[in-house]
Amino acid sequence: MNTRRIWAVLLIVAALFAPLAPASAQGSPDFVAAIEAEDAMAHVRALSVAIGARPMGSEAEARASEYVATALRDWGYTVELQEFETLPPEAADEVTSRNVIATRPGAGAEPAMVVVGAHLDSVDDGTGAGDNASGVAALLAAAEALRDFDPAHTLVFVAFGAEEGGAPSGAEVFVDSLGEGAASILAMINIDSVGVGTALNVYAGAEIAWPEDENAAPEIAGGPVWVRDLALDLAAELNLPFQTSPDATWGGYTGDWSDHYAFVEAGVPVAYFEAWLWDGAADPWWGQETPEGDVMHTPGDVYAAVIPAQVEMAAELVAATTAALASGVAGP
């Protein structure tokens, strides 16, 4: 997106948000001022400390879904709990998981959908603070910042269940439930593990084919990049330190290991938010979360490991990108 177009997006969205938040010096809605780390971290604390680990199908996952649903209802969204049966990894029996779906209808003549998602479940190790209470917290902070927004496109926030290897995942259930309506999704924003990794990133989605040789590089069928580029342009304008995956490997794309991939397979443009370290990693195709290694899926994934500023900045950029998309002033 060129400089002239990004300024047009910022100025139009600023006008739409005049009652919502004070404008910055550049004229854009000041999500940086509207979203506070303390408020976002309250959601991380509620999910990872008060509730704790949230394996799919557990009572804790159900409690977490009610927490998210209550917050979104309080902010004026229409909320639905979408229950489904799924088989956890290495389990003999299916369990009941759920998606929390919050909607604000678009007022445009031909509204599309803008979907913002983060997975609610976690593994048993640790308490799922980074993976993915931090992502859900960023989603909730963005949703609260957009609570008075009247979108041109229908705005949908989804806290997905069963991302951690569920068959099917909550994202797959959600996309399948739309049927042919999935074609009306303008863009999907995925927020996964933004609170612990070393560097904040935004990626585009691509279809991935993994070779039988585990040492060979995956085949990357590059998908649309305009949502990622919109987010990175907005990050630059808002002075938020986001980057993307290295040219030598993923080239601005990411793999097939999170909720975004159900949307990629449905042909939906994606921007995937994550905190991760690529430089100097032993495995350049995986990278690693921190210089010391991964925290996710370990006993170290607890509230104390989460970096408040990163959750705040992720929420700010998610809110700004969502506003630009749902207002109808940003598109391919």
Measure the CA angle with vertex 221, ends 217 and 227; round to 5°: 120
Burial class of 49 by CB neighbour count within 10 A (0 to 12, 13 to 18, 19+): middle
110 part of a folded domain: no
**How would you write the pLDDT of the chain (332 residues) with one tens digit per residue?**
444 355 445 544 454 444 444 444 334 468 999 999 999 999 999 999 999 999 999 999 999 999 999 999 999 999 999 999 999 999 999 999 999 999 999 998 889 999 999 999 999 999 999 999 999 999 999 999 999 999 999 999 999 999 999 999 999 999 999 999 999 999 999 999 999 999 999 999 999 999 998 888 999 999 999 999 999 999 999 999 999 999 999 999 999 999 999 999 999 999 999 999 999 999 999 999 999 999 999 999 999 999 999 999 999 999 999 999 999 988 88
Q: Is residue 17 part of a domain?
A: yes
Domain assignment of residue 303, yes or no:
yes
Q: What angle do CA 166, 171, 175 make, to 5 degrees?
A: 130
- Answer whether residue 111 is part of any domain: no
Number of domains in the chain: 1
pTM of the full predicted structure?
A: 0.93
**Residue 113, domain member (yes or no):** no
Torsion angle defined by CA atoms of residues 55, 93, 157 and 263, in that order, rounded to the nearest 10 degrees: 120
Q: Is 79 inside a domain boundary?
A: yes
Q: Are 196 and 290 in contact (CB under 8 A)?
A: yes
In a domain, 15, yes or no: yes
> What's the CATH code of the domain at 12?
3.40.630.10
Quote the Cα angle for 67-33-44, to 5°: 25
- The domain of 64 spans 3-105+120-326
Pair 81, 99: CB distance under 8 Å: yes
